[in-house]
Amino acid sequence: MNTLMEKIETVLVEAFDRCGYDSSFAKVSLSNRPDLAEYQCNGALAAAKKYRKNPMEIAEALSAELGKNSMFSLCEAARPGFLNLRIGADYLADYLNGLNASSHLGCAQTGTGKTIILDYGGANVAKPLHVGHLRSAIIGESVKRLLRFVGYECIGDIHLGDWGLQMGLIIEETKARHPDLPYFDEAYTGCYPSEAPFTISDLEDIYPKASKKAKEDEAFAEAAHLATLRLQQGDPGYTALFRHILNVSIADLKKNYASLGVEFEVWKGESDAQAFIPELFRILEGQNLLYQSEGAMVVDVAEESDSKELPPCIIRKSDGASLYATTDLATLIQRMKDYRPDEVLYIVDKRQSMHFTQVFRVARKAGIVPPETALTFLGFGTMNGKDGKPFKTRDGGVMRLEQLISDIDSAVYARIRENEAIPDDEAARTAGLVGLAALKYGDLSNQATKDYVFDIDRFISFEGNTGPYILYTMVRIKSILSKYAEGRTAHAKNATASYACDSVNDDADTMIYGNDEISANMSADTGTLIRPAQNTTEKDLHLVLAKVNDVISSAAAEKAPHRLCQYAYEICDGFNRFYHETKILTEADEARQGGWIALLRFTLLVLSEIISILGFEAPERM
């Protein structure tokens, strides 16, 4: 469905045409004087120069022409030549009802037929998830859902870090602990055990110990390095052990990501790309792109227009080992073969920006990725503590993701426990939902490229621009809707029924609701339409909601979930203003009341879709 702006523009174009002016001047924008108008067109000012006329004369002619259109309740020429516009309440209500009835909230499906691979998550096998992985997961998941909402086929690939030295370290440490395992017996020819020789808690102990040992003990470090090489050369025992490390880690990672509401379609990793490295070399050699430099094999990637010097991309080190860039290039070969994507989008820490510039340039130069496939790097900033430095635990260590989440959940739980009507187990569940919203919204409401300060007290506040505030507003709407439904059920049962609740703006947080009768009743009157707004707060809410397709489409085009946060906040503010002025449940005029209920349902629908794109959900009460 066309956005409201597009619809206004179409009408403006006709008016410019009819008045004999070039319709390319028919541009509309939100008014920067909301006290005077909702929208404005500055086209008469620009046209005045071309036609050497007084802009006011042009604006007045246009205003007279537009006055014939029922779309506007105001179209007024204002000095020195602006056109001030207000949408008619009837037109606006119709537009909202149209959005409500259309799929995807009227968002143009610009992505239909196109495939995007999103490379996000990037967890490293056997190493615990830390907050650095948090942003990639949260932003990547949300961008994926956003692009999917506008029609793209989206494939999320976690691209595990599973091929580095950490594998050799784990293998060596396991060997030190259990030297008798068959994986280490070079003469062994039987089948390797199907049961892993360690659990996830063992691995969580093994890796940090091994990593520490390697720093202190040179012989151990060397052994780990050799073990890594042996694994990479395909040693059967080490490969079998590697499979165990992978399986145990992945099962744990899946659990962790699920608790974050993050899900990957593809669980490939760096190790899967190794098979494509020979082909990478064939391509690069075939095109004479590869040359030796200080013993390493490199490809030049600098371009004349570069403002900063870009070093050559190293494909193979002097000791024969391949690097991060080698794997990423091999992965691109694999992805092109498997999916022929229209875009590969990387959601990775912005400090890796140079790496991706190098990889993209080699991929283009060598024709690994054709020009019609976009390569995009969405680099995100650092999550800092209140001291402005990268977020750490209280004793200065790396904060583990699980710890962070449990800290937030307990803070939220304490807040929710203040409402004594909510039983313990429900409070715990709700705290999980609200905590996740606090965490994700706290992150996503910032422009991804920027650093931000992780401030738990601010993030979990029920007021201000926070996830819990959005949820609180949704819970409030749910509560009004169910009270309304209860009232109607009672009404139907008993002709003398009065509404279950007489005081209007009583707090949503003390309500219990949700039974079958209510839902049956709710669906029975879904036919009700949103009615033309009768006052300013209602009209303002209509105007905010009418932007939904516009906002989601531009957020998707910019891959910018923070725009959705801003918008959700604007809706909640608009809703709360309206709600404070409107006595919905005690309204005697049923038709009028029904119109408001339809408005509430639509508001809830829009908010639900938005938070689902952001990657969290609302509880029934809080």
Contact 194, 182 (CB under 8 A): no
To the nearest whole angstrom, how small is the minimum distance from the Cβ of residue 269 to ligand ARG?
A: 9
- Record the tokens describing residue 214, joined without a space: 């390697």
List the one residue out of 257, 252, 262, 270 whose CA is nearest residue 140: 262
List the one residue out of 157, 154, 150 whose CA is nearest residue 557: 150
To the nearest whole angstrom, how small is the minimum distance from the Cβ of residue 137 to ligand ARG?
A: 11
Contact 313, 87 (CB under 8 A): no
Contact 96, 606 (CB under 8 A): no
State which residue has the least CB distance to ligand ARG. Answer: 122
- Contacting residues for 377 by C-beta, under 8 A, at least 6 apart: 346, 348, 353, 356, 357, 360
Q: Is 317 helix (H, G, I), strand (E, B) or coil?
A: coil
| Closer by beta carbon to ligand ARG, 9 or else 328 | 328
To the nearest whole angstrom, how small is the minimum distance from the Cβ of residue 259 to ligand ARG?
A: 20
| Closer by beta carbon to ligand ARG, 47 or else 169 | 169
C-alpha–C-alpha distance, residues 311 and 358, integer Å: 8
**Beta-strand (E) ranges in 144-227?**
153-157
Burial classification of residue 107, based on how many CB atoms lie within 10 Å of its CB (0-12 exposed, 13-18 middle, 19 or more buried): buried
| Closer by beta carbon to ligand ARG, 268 or else 563 | 268
Contact 493, 472 (CB under 8 A): no
To the nearest whole angstrom, how small is the minimum distance from the Cβ of residue 342 to ligand ARG?
A: 18
Q: Output the CA–CA distances (angstroms, integers) from residue 1 to 8, 105, 189, in the order listed.
A: 13, 8, 66
Chain-centre distance of CA 344, in angstroms?
Answer: 16
| Closer by beta carbon to ligand ARG, 86 or else 130 | 130
| Closer by beta carbon to ligand ARG, 13 or else 398 | 398
To the nearest whole angstrom, how small is the minimum distance from the Cβ of residue 119 to ligand ARG?
A: 5
At CA 165, angle to CA 391 and CA 356, rounded to 5? 65
| Closer by beta carbon to ligand ARG, 159 or else 244 | 159
- Contacting residues for 322 by C-beta, under 8 A, at least 6 apart: 277, 315, 316
To the nearest whole angstrom, how small is the minimum distance from the Cβ of residue 121 to ligand ARG?
A: 8
To the nearest whole angstrom, how small is the minimum distance from the Cβ of residue 355 to ligand ARG?
A: 7
| Closer by beta carbon to ligand ARG, 170 or else 348 | 348
Which one-letter DSSP state was computed for residue 530? P
List the one residue out of 402, 358, 339, 352 whose CA is nearest residue 379: 352
Q: Is 397 helix (H, G, I), strand (E, B) or coil?
A: coil
Length of the chain: 622
To the nearest whole angstrom, how small is the minimum distance from the Cβ of residue 315 to ligand ARG?
A: 15
List the one residue out of 418, 405, 417 whose CA is nearest residue 454: 405
Q: Output the CA–CA distances (angstroms, integers) from residue 165 to 157, 168, 235, 269, 355, in the order listed.
A: 22, 5, 16, 15, 19
| Closer by beta carbon to ligand ARG, 341 or else 574 | 341
Query: Which residues contact ligand ARG (rule: CB under 6 A)?
Result: 119, 122, 124, 159, 161, 328, 346, 348
| Closer by beta carbon to ligand ARG, 166 or else 479 | 166
| Closer by beta carbon to ligand ARG, 159 or else 562 | 159
| Closer by beta carbon to ligand ARG, 40 or else 331 | 331
List the one residue out of 383, 382, 381, 375 whose CA is nearest residue 357: 375
| Closer by beta carbon to ligand ARG, 119 or else 486 | 119
To the nearest whole angstrom, how small is the minimum distance from the Cβ of residue 453 to ligand ARG?
A: 22
β-pairing verdict for 374-380 and 343-349: parallel
To the nearest whole angstrom, how small is the minimum distance from the Cβ of residue 611 to ligand ARG?
A: 27
Show contacts of 406-412: CB within 8 Å, 24+ apart: 407/456, 408/435, 408/438, 408/439, 408/456, 408/459, 408/460, 409/435, 411/435, 411/456, 411/457, 411/460, 412/438, 412/460, 412/468
| Closer by beta carbon to ligand ARG, 139 or else 348 | 348
| Closer by beta carbon to ligand ARG, 124 or else 271 | 124
To the nearest whole angstrom, how small is the minimum distance from the Cβ of residue 352 to ligand ARG?
A: 7
C-alpha–C-alpha distance, residues 65 and 323, integer Å: 67
To the nearest whole angstrom, how small is the minimum distance from the Cβ of residue 168 to ligand ARG?
A: 16
C-alpha–C-alpha distance, residues 90 and 72, integer Å: 9
C-alpha–C-alpha distance, residues 391 and 620, integer Å: 33
Q: Which residue, chain included where needed, has tokens 């800092």?
A: 384
To the nearest whole angstrom, how small is the minimum distance from the Cβ of residue 118 to ligand ARG?
A: 10
| Closer by beta carbon to ligand ARG, 122 or else 574 | 122
To the nearest whole angstrom, how small is the minimum distance from the Cβ of residue 397 to ligand ARG?
A: 18
